[in-house]
Structure 1
């Protein structure tokens, strides 16, 4: 379908045929001859009689923008023919006399192409992408190119273009194309050549730069520029600027703190953003809510039990806006979907904000919405005919429910017994849309964290077995399988009524398949499930599991390059070796004392504290077996590292470490020579001598406590004193 002549009339006809028509986009997008002419027309347009070069360039830009969306074939062709580079060159050569229409058309085309490329690379901005693009490798190269400093020099200055159309297009590009942390930092730190020159001159030392003119003030040039755009009276421009600030502030603590705290005597950017949450325009409200959410989450730690009143007030303001949108009778599905995901971004992994969402009625709003859009009596016909907007909304509301209910048992009770959402969650596990199945698994995971729910609702309703059936599917989407395997980690615990049932129906075999899967996250979940399965397990179950995994494979896992895998593997060995007979089994199957203790010594020397913790627990279990204590005492590397754990490690490691020492001393009264050579005896004396002088204050402890040998944990103190008593008693016996 190659077009013989490129002119305004033919281009307009093609533009009208491809807008909103994926089939037509695919046809024209696969025509490399036509696309080549189109890309060439951006900078070297033909000159048919009666047509201006500018008009041809504008129409070519419009078509490229349209082809970027909806057709992988068209996007592939555009990338192969270097359309991004052609657009950037066209922008770089714009002259003051060029029309605003041309500038806006080029800016929109670049925006469309950048967003399409970012969508192909991922992650998706709103929920799960329906599939992983086969263009990902090519698209990633193109996306990285767009964030090179010299390329940013071409299009980022358009943020201050006098035309609101042009500056909004560039803000939208930043908002939707920034998905990666490295790109976020690169664009946040960008500044115009003039400011870069000022920064360089200031570093020469002979001139004092005005701090108010520093490129880093308020987070850099781009943050300042976007913040300025918030004061313009153009709603679309404000929305684009808010979305761009949200993209840059996400997980960017340095920038978020600067946006949350204004200069002396001035309102902070966050204050301005929150004021825009009160706009009458719903899209502007949501953009402001997302921006405020990303600033708040990046500038405050979810691990800190103290949440400042201002942070709490900000969270409540955002929830109030989102509740109104989610519960609206007039908002469309797309709008409600965005509101639910923003709520998820606000509360995810944050215990205090989850509680606030419960108290401020957010859970009730999303719970009612789940019930309203999920048929209780589902049929294949209903699901196949369901509009994609409804499926995406269901994914969003279930995702929000899962996030809010992750921590608190009262919230889970509200979901199961008050809102009665389990039937909707269970029905969604078999939904054809991948995002819905994934979100339903996340809900099941959150609910299965409660022992009471696991023993009652999850069993009685069949939700647990529905997740298990999904888990057993061989052709399930990898992301859904990851979520389902996380639920299985809870279902196989010792207090789960479903434990024996899923074992009988093949759970162990399926977990071994995931363990051998190339996906690291699936491998980790399989190990986590095995760890839970082996806790307080019978000897027969331990042998069954290890027969399936393979002892040699367990040895390999202990030395895996990924420390997370090492930690889980050590935790599994810890649960296996929780009795004298089981310790003998581990030593006999894993290469004997030299190999086993060598692996533990390496693990105890790890830079990862979680690996060290599990290694010390394994060693403490081994120390409970008299038959293997002499092997530990004759292993200088192990004893040396054990002493270091007593001196420098966190209390969670010191507790099993001192228990190990106590067990060795108690059953080997003449072991003082080995312990003395390792320096453990003097370490115990220091721990006991300084005990009475140690304050419980964390400040005093850090200032002069642990590193000087003092001990402030009562359990460690007591066992250190007992070990020292046995050691000194054995010395008296020798005398």
Structure 2
């Protein structure tokens, strides 16, 4: 398709042909000459017969409309726009706009930039609402364009338009910030931005040359952006308010300092957003709920107190009521319900208190009713093919919310399986053609499989467990779905799962080996986690089968992994294998080189990660139960030193297995006194017990003295330290007696 002469009617015809038509967009995208001419019109419109500025402006406006339309719906069209430098051309056009430019021209440019930025951000990811159906084939080009859009000098071009007197312009820029900012680095650049005039004032001191401390500037650290977006909330324009709320919700993510600034009242954004959440406009309600949720969850970041204040609970309940009305409304679109479910997920995710509130306030029941209403009882290939994408997206969002709410509490999981009867819908969703639906269904299965009662009944009786396993066996399954499915397998291979034997017969060990040898760290981690659960209280035959499947060299390599999460799980596997004297013998028989294993344990005991140290000490304590291998421990050049350090400096969870290891060495091997004495362990034990008489008797003194004075404040560690010291002293007396007899 080629146009010899570009005119307003010709551009309007092109615009009308591509709006909502992916085929037409793709066809136009392949006509690079025409697309290039349209992009050129943004800055250099062709001469018109009357030569008027109004005609030129109209051409530029129509060209901007076409660029906006081409941004979405066709990867070919988006690729053409990026290859022809449409973002740079459009931003140059915006930078050259005069104050006297028509508001309609500025609005058209702002909308085009918003659409192009959103398309680029979607191609790069991560997705804002669920999982993308596919990986964009223009991701590489889009990543370069997205980075360009958030360069400081480029931010100077379009962010000032937030203060434009035209609501259409400021709305488009606020929408851009709500959809295009996808990572922490870009979020920080936007937060730090302030107008060039303010930057100039900050660069000069009272004498005109002294630089001020930028950290004291009110315009830095989100000051200008948050003030400006907050001021837009006071404008009586619903679309503008919605865009500003969405932008604030996106920008406050991962920033507790920004969230606390927005939460301050009066006139805090949080209180304003709560008021707007009660408006009559559903889209405004949803944007306000999203903003409140982002502020609420970001404020909790960096704080380890698991409690939630009454004010935060009241705020969360208010938002849940708003979301409940949106989710259950028959007049609300599927797209709006989808976002409402994702906002609910964001609100409750990984927060036990909010999950319980969502259950008590019927949010779970309303989402479950929604899932059952859009999921056919009997599935057929024809019905799935005809199902609109909007329905699949809604099912993904609703299942994601259910998975989050049911993650912590067994009563909630029982309600999901027995009262709300969601298992059939979850099972049917495991084979849905949309990756997001399969992923969300696996997340639901993972939450349910954490309950022993569900694992022994519903997950087995309905076939849900085996359905997840069949998905788990698919070699060509999406990587994120495999992450979720492998997490379910970690739960269903435990020793109290009825499916354990069936999965072993159907090849779960071999499939886990495949994941263990993949290049995906998360899949390797889940495979190790599954092995760990599988080996708990396992038979010698199963232990031998797993060790043989993984292999000695692979196990040794995993012990040296730089990722401490992998190290921890490998050590936990070795701990389960070495559970009992026979297990210790099996471990050394399979690993082959005892010196190499002890070297690895010594190195892991030096780790800065306490979880790695804990599991390494547990393995060592198990090995110490075997008398035949105690000599190797005692003669190792580093092990005893590391063991002493664990007794002195480590947390109590590590000191317990450490002192158990020392006790076994002292009790079963009288000849261990010399090595333990040379390592200073006997002196350490005496030091630990020096103050225990008054520490144990008085809680106040125990707290005051604690380990700072060398006293051991854990009763279990005290008792084992006392026993170990007794055995060492007995060995010393026996040794001295032998020496005295020899002197005689």
The answer to whether TM tops 0.5 is: yes
Query: Aligned equivalents of 2:448 and 2:188: distance in 1?
Result: 37
Alignment-derived partner of residue 53 in structure 1:
56
How far 1:627 moved relative to its partner?
1.5
Pick aligned residue for 1:71 from 70, 74, 79: 74
How far 1:536 moved relative to its partner?
1.1
Q: In 2, are the aligned partners of 1:464 and 1:498 still within 8 Å (CA)?
A: yes
Q: 1:365-410 deviations in whole A, cap 9, x for unaligned?
A: 1111111111111111111111111111111111111110001000
Residues 1:68 and 1:208: Cα distance change in structure 2 (over 3 Å): closer
Query: Aligned equivalents of 1:693 and 1:246: distance in 2?
Result: 55
Equivalent residues, number:
731
1:448 partnered with 2:449: yes
Alignment-derived partner of residue 121 in structure 2:
118
Deviates more, 1:719-728 or 1:306-315: 719-728
Query: Aligned equivalents of 2:702 and 2:6: distance in 1?
Result: 77
How far 1:2 moved relative to its partner?
2.9
Alignment-derived partner of residue 219 in structure 2:
215
1:252 partnered with 2:263: no
Query: Aligned equivalents of 2:138 and 2:214: distance in 1?
Result: 47
TM-score (norm 1): 0.95
How far 1:212 moved relative to its partner?
10
Query: Aligned equivalents of 1:378 and 1:571: distance in 2?
Result: 42
Q: In 2, are the aligned partners of 1:489 and 1:532 still within 8 Å (CA)?
A: yes
Once superposed, what is the RMSD of the aligned Cα atoms?
Answer: 2.4
Q: How does 1:571-590 map to 2 (within 5 A)?
A: 571-590=572-591
Q: How does 1:269-348 map to 2 (within 5 A)?
A: 269-301=269-301, 304-348=305-349
Residues 1:655 and 1:67: Cα distance change in structure 2 (over 3 Å): same
Query: Aligned equivalents of 2:384 and 2:123: distance in 1?
Result: 26
Query: Aligned equivalents of 1:529 and 1:73: distance in 2?
Result: 43
Question: Which secondary structure does the structure 1 equivalent of 2:285 belong to?
Answer: helix
Deviates more, 1:387-396 or 1:45-54: 45-54
Q: In 1, are the aligned partners of 2:687 and 2:711 still within 8 Å (CA)?
A: yes
Residues 1:676 and 1:41: Cα distance change in structure 2 (over 3 Å): farther
Pick aligned residue for 2:192 from 186, 189, 193: 189
TM-score (norm 2): 0.94
Alignment-derived partner of residue 457 in structure 1:
458
Query: Aligned equivalents of 1:519 and 1:353: distance in 2?
Result: 32
How far 1:580 moved relative to its partner?
1.9
Q: 1:117-172 deviations in whole A, cap 9, x for unaligned?
A: 11011111111111111222221221122112121111111111111111111111
> Which structure 1 segments of 5+ residues have no match?
none
Residues 1:396 and 1:643: Cα distance change in structure 2 (over 3 Å): same
Alignment-derived partner of residue 598 in structure 1:
599
Query: Aligned equivalents of 1:549 and 1:710: distance in 2?
Result: 43
Q: 1:632-662 deviations in whole A, cap 9, x for unaligned?
A: 1222322222222222222222222222122
Alignment-derived partner of residue 742 in structure 2:
none
Residues 1:700 and 1:403: Cα distance change in structure 2 (over 3 Å): farther
How far 1:561 moved relative to its partner?
2.3
Pick aligned residue for 1:225 from 220, 225, 228: 228
Question: Which secondary structure does the structure 1 equivalent of 2:305 belong to?
Answer: coil
Alignment-derived partner of residue 564 in structure 1:
565
Deviates more, 1:449-458 or 1:135-144: 135-144
Alignment-derived partner of residue 134 in structure 2:
131
Q: 1:33-81 deviations in whole A, cap 9, x for unaligned?
A: 1222222222222223236332222111111111000111111111111
Q: In 1, are the aligned partners of 2:194 and 2:220 still within 8 Å (CA)?
A: no
Q: 1:634-691 deviations in whole A, cap 9, x for unaligned?
A: 2232222222222222222222222212222222334333223333223222222233
Residues 1:585 and 1:182: Cα distance change in structure 2 (over 3 Å): same
How far 1:303 moved relative to its partner?
5.0
Q: In 1, are the aligned partners of 2:71 and 2:77 still within 8 Å (CA)?
A: yes
Query: Aligned equivalents of 2:638 and 2:494: distance in 1?
Result: 35
> Which structure 2 segments of 5+ residues have no match?
737-744
